[in-house]
Structure 1
């Protein structure tokens, strides 16, 4: 079902229900107003009748009951000229009492044996029909004037009013539905144009969608799409750059391995072959390290962040344990200033990769036997993890470039892939960790500070 159909099926029932509610309140209002008007007319008729019959009703001379004949018979059916007027006349009757004696009645009045009604308004049923009766008691006399009206007259009038009101509304419903459908179609034309514009693009077209001519309601949507396109463009550019750089970096160890294999094939002595095999092993190790760093770097941007409370001291100790054999073989001494109160809120897996890369660089570039100092101190934001080594360090003017991918500050470095600190920087960006490169207190080497939010 299209959006236009959904909107139409929600708007049209609303219009129909609104018309029905309007009709209901119109019925209630018309009934109330007609009752008030017709009751006032009954009061007026009773007073007029009393004014006309004051003398005969108040004379002391006894008079027989007067029965007023129907004008239809006495005047030649003059009311038949207008059937509605005839029905109106037949719907009214009256009686006049002197004491308990009926003195005057119309031809269509209640029978003589029908008792006198109480003063004011009364609703009675006679011969299956409902009547509204107004009884006027004349003060300082024994005269009572009764005027009655058939309630069907009022109901017929209300029905005619509702019919005259409802029929045009019912006829207008298809017109309203058509206008509503056209209005919805015109209102959604901007969306259809936007969809067509997006569909017509080729997969490589990530240009911004213009929103100058769009309705105000669609501007936030187009703005969000443009932000998404911008992120997608940056992501694709980063992927292409990563692929190009990775291909370039992998080509070097692959070419070296191929050359060593060719030399091994042409080698003559056993000693030469052993040297070449050792070089092949080292070259393979460098290639494996590069591949591992590349895979790790590619996973960082897609790995879901799972925040949890972590004891920083335990996490660092666990990472150090993984480097235990290397530290022992090279005679390293590690100074870990423990702080059991350092609780941080972060992703354990990503933070472990950061610490692993920093420790790997510290061990790799420190001379044997080396020393690594690790400290955990509190800051205004949370906790600062500091890892210091005795390596060559990084000059202050080169520290910003140290976080770039495949950037090796030492051209003679044949072991590094130029990805360690780049991985650290990417993870720091995702976890909101502030990273700083400083010089240790002993004046040489490198100190890496990670400021992490407290739990």
Structure 2
């Protein structure tokens, strides 16, 4: 703030100088006009000839000022000098601007800057307008202007340093709480994500501190989720890895080819389970961390679901499961939602894999796509005729690593969590219900409802 004050000070002095010039000129301009009006009374017509009668009173009027010189001139309509100074500069205005109207201008007479008052006299007893000018040097005006400047500058020389000092003290006092806040933040431990105390902070930065506290709260929740995720992931990987090690040690001791083959089969199943868990973990991490950074495009949901179903046919045939698709072959372009094709395909694949895993041999799995042309709403459904999920556990199965009780299916408990995460990133909602509520095997129908005519904003990409 000191730099702007120092820059404004010369500007203030310059403005004061111009104002002082105007203030000093006004009273002297009025006096000069009065003198001109008094001298015009001495212009007379003598038998058609203009004359200027310079009496003693007029001489005293022209010599009344000891500090400034006064010049005058009287010129008739023909441009002949009647009285006064012959080298007086003529005005630039047209003659006869109005009877008795007095004009003012700045000019130079004999090398001196003067203030000139002039008028044209258009009397009936003269042969035309008579020009009369009275000029006065600017000594008194400059003296008065300088006095005004001194009267303004001297207080400014005192007030400006005092203002700078007061501003400095105010800023130091005002910034002290910010310095204390900075020290409190710097003194924090790296793992301390508790909110900043808002009782002793300046009011001006209260919204900033509140925003920081909100960020710390969300960061703490995110780190807590990551720690829990890593702990659960380590626990999930520990079991298949331990099984691999045990089966490998047993295989090394076996001499019977049949037992050795059984151990190798166990190793193969354990490695497949570990691979599946790792793939699921990577898919969930990609959905949570990089889904928003991946490119998005218009997606034909019908074709995407058909592609996933065709890829899953070999697994369905191996498990003797009837896997099918119901819906249009392709969607019209106006119903294509915005999304990331990799993530959406991963979501559909997890729904289909989850249904194939839990419906059991001889089961039926159906994937379908429903669409409403008028509202633009699209619904992806994957249903099976398996044991289903109890209603009180449907929110829990959306959490990572949670598995419904009573199932003997190998899995990591991440499939539906991945579906939930990808659906949220695309502005969609996930709903679960019984596919066959009238049967003993109620089955499960998972519906993913996409928003109408979803765009980039709704998709969150």
TM-score category of the 2 structures, normalised to the smaller one: 0.7 to 0.9
CA distance in 2 between partners of 1:261 and 1:112 (Å): 129
CA gap of 1:411–1:248, structure 2 versus 1, over 3 A, is farther
Quote the residue 1:77 is aligned against: none
Quote the residue 1:83 is aligned against: none
Task: Choose which of 344, 354, 378 in structure 2 pairs with 1:361.
Answer: 354
1:93 aligns with 2:82: no
Superposed, 1:172-251 pairs within 5 Å as: 172-251=159-238
1:126 aligns with 2:109: yes
Deviation at 1:16, TM superposition (A): 4.2
**Conserved? CA contact 1:366–1:389, under 8 Å:** yes
SS of the aligned residue for 1:388 comes to strand
Quote the residue 2:344 is aligned against: 351
CA distance in 1 between partners of 2:204 and 2:89 (Å): 74
Deviation at 1:180, TM superposition (A): 3.0
SS of the aligned residue for 2:198 comes to coil
1:276 aligns with 2:263: yes
**Conserved? CA contact 1:46–1:146, under 8 Å:** yes
**Conserved? CA contact 2:397–2:404, under 8 Å:** yes
**Please, what TM-score do these two structures have when normalized by structure 2?**
0.77
Count of residue correspondences: 419
Quote the residue 2:399 is aligned against: 404
Q: Name structure 2 gaps, 5 residues minimum.
A: 44-50, 455-461
**Conserved? CA contact 1:384–1:450, under 8 Å:** yes
Deviation at 1:448, TM superposition (A): 0.6
1:31 aligns with 2:21: yes
**Greater displacement, 310-319 / 426-435:** 426-435
Superposed, 1:42-441 pairs within 5 Å as: 42-45=32-35, 89-93=66-70, 111=85, 120-121=102-103, 123=105, 124-134=107-117, 147-170=134-157, 172-305=159-292, 306-339=295-328, 340-341=330-331, 342-378=335-371, 382-441=377-436
Q: Deviations over 1:262-305 (max 9, x none)?
A: 33233342111111211111111112212222222233221142
CA gap of 1:296–1:127, structure 2 versus 1, over 3 A, is same
SS of the aligned residue for 1:301 comes to helix
**Conserved? CA contact 1:94–1:145, under 8 Å:** no
CA gap of 1:323–1:38, structure 2 versus 1, over 3 A, is same
Q: Deviations over 1:42-96 (max 9, x none)?
A: 2334567799x99xxxxxxx9997789x99xxxxxxxxxxxxxx99514143669
CA gap of 1:64–1:161, structure 2 versus 1, over 3 A, is closer
Q: State the superposition RMSD in angstroms.
A: 3.9
**Conserved? CA contact 1:97–1:144, under 8 Å:** yes
**Greater displacement, 120-129 / 203-212:** 120-129
**Conserved? CA contact 1:121–1:132, under 8 Å:** no
Q: Deviations over 1:196-216 (max 9, x none)?
A: 111100011111112233233
Deviation at 1:29, TM superposition (A): 3.2
CA gap of 1:293–1:45, structure 2 versus 1, over 3 A, is same
CA gap of 1:214–1:87, structure 2 versus 1, over 3 A, is farther
Deviation at 1:139, TM superposition (A): 7.6
**Greater displacement, 294-303 / 385-394:** 294-303
CA gap of 1:145–1:275, structure 2 versus 1, over 3 A, is closer
CA distance in 2 between partners of 1:374 and 1:258 (Å): 39
CA gap of 1:114–1:126, structure 2 versus 1, over 3 A, is closer
**Conserved? CA contact 1:378–1:384, under 8 Å:** yes
CA gap of 1:304–1:45, structure 2 versus 1, over 3 A, is same
CA gap of 1:411–1:288, structure 2 versus 1, over 3 A, is farther
**Greater displacement, 41-50 / 251-260:** 41-50
CA gap of 1:33–1:253, structure 2 versus 1, over 3 A, is same
Q: Deviations over 1:102-144 (max 9, x none)?
A: 79xxxxxx65786999974565532201333446869899999
**Conserved? CA contact 2:89–2:109, under 8 Å:** no
CA gap of 1:28–1:280, structure 2 versus 1, over 3 A, is same
**Please, what TM-score do these two structures have when normalized by structure 1?**
0.78
SS of the aligned residue for 2:299 comes to strand
Quote the residue 1:12 is aligned against: 3
SS of the aligned residue for 1:89 comes to coil
CA distance in 1 between partners of 2:364 and 2:226 (Å): 38
CA distance in 2 between partners of 1:208 and 1:87 (Å): 83
